[in-house]
Structure 1
């Protein structure tokens, strides 16, 4: 299980969501993504993205002006043909 830290501080909408979506595509099921951003819209946009992707936000915290999301990548269902 890997953990990737994505520092998006200083970036404005829509970049935090776009970069988070791209980073999620590189992760395997069970991996964690820590996203650090300062754009207040991320408090709305990142949860909406995660709802769309089917992944899970494990934690959301604030440190001064920085918002920190810890996102768990949901494993893809096993679609192997078991005949």
Structure 2
């Protein structure tokens, strides 16, 4: 998407994928309507009133561990 595209702009996209030395395989054309289905990302919001929670490993293959410090559980 280009900066300043007005809401309602239709963007179409496809790609050419090459396998070995064969001819390109053209993907289906996708469409995106600017202004729909967007996600707002907010960084830097920290709630200092809660104890830190560690979740690992990240990325995960399916299982994760959750860890709270002992003082968060009332065992200071």
Report the TM-score when normalising by structure 2.
Answer: 0.19
Structure with more strand by fraction: 1
Q: Which has the higher helix share?
A: 1
Higher relative contact order (CA 8 A, sep 6+): 1
